[in-house]
Structure 1
């Protein structure tokens, strides 16, 4: 077993864990993580039984997962996304069953869904951000396909371990591209946060991975021992990538009856995790009106999630500055709370005069206030109703009975655009020097026609 196998296994597990921990709500991250975990399991299986059927099947799974990743890179507001996601699930299940049944080189059929996903990515490439993503994904996917061909076809391209390592590097680059797409979509920085997690992963890989490699080299041909060593490395790498969620889970176990202590520790943890992902203040002036509107929609969607508001570029709005004074103006947590207050007041401005209603003029206010500010989830099988006031209960019943999910989402987008237009107007009327505390001037954005 060449020593190169353990580092690529560790890299795959860490990157998969990092993607899930970065934003557990995004299906795109889970698909990319599933591809990396399947590869890591395939590496372990190949080390234990080189060329075996389980290893070959596991190494084909990433191609199926990355077909779903290619679809997941398309904008969520596209009407085609839902049928494409459902079609990918069905097709992947059929191809996975085929890969399990057929022998050897025939398992290369797993590449077919990936090709289809790349075709769709190029079909809608003008809607993908950043713009270079389709080309980068295509190149790296082609390299992975080449390594898969080298592993499954009866050709000699060198040591299988080196080919496995090359496939792992290809998948790692694809995982990095997913992280780039997520950071671009959320208006966050990627590199400082990624570097922080990578340093911890490198330390764990050197300490635990090095010992595991030496153990497997010293005691060869012990399948159980090899599997246990891979498991140990996987646990350490998963912890390095999921350190934030793991710490919060440990707090719930260690302090089950001390809510105040848990909340204080969670607030500190959220702040420490958010700081490396925040953009510089002056970048807010560089966004276009369309980008500003998209960021506003995201902030409203994340109204109840203070961790995401901490990372939103809108935390540096001038209206937030005017609400804070002294040291509070430099505290990210205070700014996030004020951003939430600004959004709530902007939504309240949409409310028509009079008591609660369900007429046409109430749709925008109802869509944002009850589903974003109040946090109603009307389409859950058993929506939570504890603590709701009379209007919220009436709104919940109205949404469930008379408002289709697609209509509600459309109303939310329209209402969020109204809120964004108001905040954008305030930004345009503000002296750009409010962002330059260090004295550096930033150029104001161009007004949209």
Structure 2
């Protein structure tokens, strides 16, 4: 039925966009979101596409696209699990073997599948069978490798990983049944059942990302879902009424899916869309544009903050992980709003004399506190920059987070760096491997976390 397909499409479309909006710079979220969106497109094409045999190759390709994307998700997760978390955008993650596995997916599996997919879409039947077999084998292999990976950390991460593996197995089974053409259940029902598997996978990825960021997930995700359902019902409902009155005509069914897609996209992508409009409307007022961006980011981040952080009960490793994450958001007050560290007693002391202190005030004080801790790592030699061992902790966090240099990113070109930062950038790029910088940053975060944690005492918020 068209209504079942519409619900399956809407859920996949919403969750795919939701994962991308969380942070499209993260490979795991980007690949997971792409897989969900590809499935949503497959649902539409299966419903409104022609029923001719020549179009079967296109359907096979669309069913395989989510499996290819999720194979990349599992490969990337295995690479990142060896560092105990999702890591930062562009940061080093995993050992050499798992890094090679990620490169194998990007430069091996994806290009090969793209070539075979073109042949399958062109009507070459054997290519469709080859594509399905390669994709399913790669997906199962990536899941097995993920399941054998050790070092997932806390029970929350292990639970989310288990959810991912279960969802992946269910998705692999459903995709296999579709590809081999076993008519165990009607095709529409099978495609809709795949939505359940992908939702498990998407929620698992979102839970892992929220854990790594030290954020809450349920309230913010539920709000996004409820608003999406409401807007989709308002706009898609009009097309649904037309279908009831006039019958399931192809044009009306396409209109139904288009209305649902547009309504959900307008809600989920509200922040990026507003930012784009601001760039045009306030092109001559950069300060106003930056202020609006900061406030908007803070509003979006606030529902992600844990209401009961219990900082005093956290172990050293967990506290260090949260500190590292706060350092990575040092220049983004909006994202610092969601950090559990804004509940530190030291921040209460700093704000004691103020009549009212909102989340942005607390984030500002957290940034100042982190800045002081970073400055405390600087060797007292009277120099602005050094390359000896005593400088490694300070260099790794100050120049990366405060100065904002990215020595390993080919996309980042800074022309406004001062002479000291330019010297540091050259040193990192020429003398410091990315993995070494990552280890130095972890060590520096532990030192800063120990300083922050020493002020907790027996206080528990």
Q: Is this a same-fold pair by TM over 0.5?
A: yes
Q: Distance in 2 between matches of 1:410 and 1:141?
A: 32
Please list, as runs of the form range in 1=range in 2, the aligned pairs for 1:20-419 lying within 5 A after superposition. 20-49=20-49, 50=51, 52-74=56-78, 75=81, 76=87, 77-79=93-95, 80-89=97-106, 90-101=108-119, 103=125, 106-109=130-133, 110-127=135-152, 130-215=157-242, 226-227=253-254, 229-327=256-354, 330-352=357-379, 353-355=381-383, 356-381=385-410, 383-419=412-448
Separation (CA, whole Å) in 1 of partners of 2:399 and 2:318:
25
Instruction: State the 1:424 CA deviation.
Output: 2.2
Q: Per-residue deviation at 1:222?
A: 6.0
With over 3 angstroms needed to count, the CA separation of the structure-2 counterparts of 1:385 and 1:65, relative to structure 1, is: closer
Please give the alpha-carbon distance, in whole angstroms, between the structure 2 residues aligned to 1:423 and 1:387: 32
How far apart are 1:383 and its partner, in Å?
Answer: 4.8
SS in 1 for 2:455: helix
Q: CA deviation at 1:78?
A: 2.4
Q: Which residue of 1 aligns with 2:449?
A: 420
In the aligned structure 1, how far is the partner of 2:30 from the partner of 2:422? Answer: 34
Shift of residue 214 of structure 1?
A: 4.4
8 Å CA contact 1:61, 1:96 repeated in 2: no
State the superposition RMSD in angstroms: 2.4
Deviation at 1:52, TM superposition (A): 2.5
Secondary structure at the residue paired with 2:2? Answer: coil
Structure 1 residues 154, 115: CA separation in 2 closer, same or farther (over 3 Å shift)? closer
Residue 218 of structure 1 and its aligned partner are, at CA, apart by 6.0
Mapped contact 1:43–1:55 kept (Cα < 8 A): no
Bigger mean CA offset, 351-360 vs 214-223: 214-223
TM-superposed deviation, 1:227: 4.2
Describe the SS at the equivalent of 1:52: helix
- Normalised by the length of structure 2, the TM-score is 0.86
Paired residues in the alignment total 432
CA distance in 1, matches of 2:452, 2:302: 24
Classify the secondary structure of the residue corresponding to 2:310.
helix
CA distance in 1, matches of 2:426, 2:400: 12
CA 1:361/1:244 → structure 2, altered by over 3 Å: closer, same or farther? same
- Further displaced range: 215-224 or 20-29: 215-224
- Distance in 1 (alpha carbons) for counterparts of 2:411 and 2:109: 31
Alpha-carbon distance in 2 for matches of 1:382, 1:271 = 26
2:104 and 2:280 map into 1 onto residues whose CA distance is: 40
Separation in structure 2 between the aligned mates of residue 145 and residue 381 of structure 1, nearest angstrom: 36
Counterpart CA distance in 1 for 2:295 and 2:400 is 28
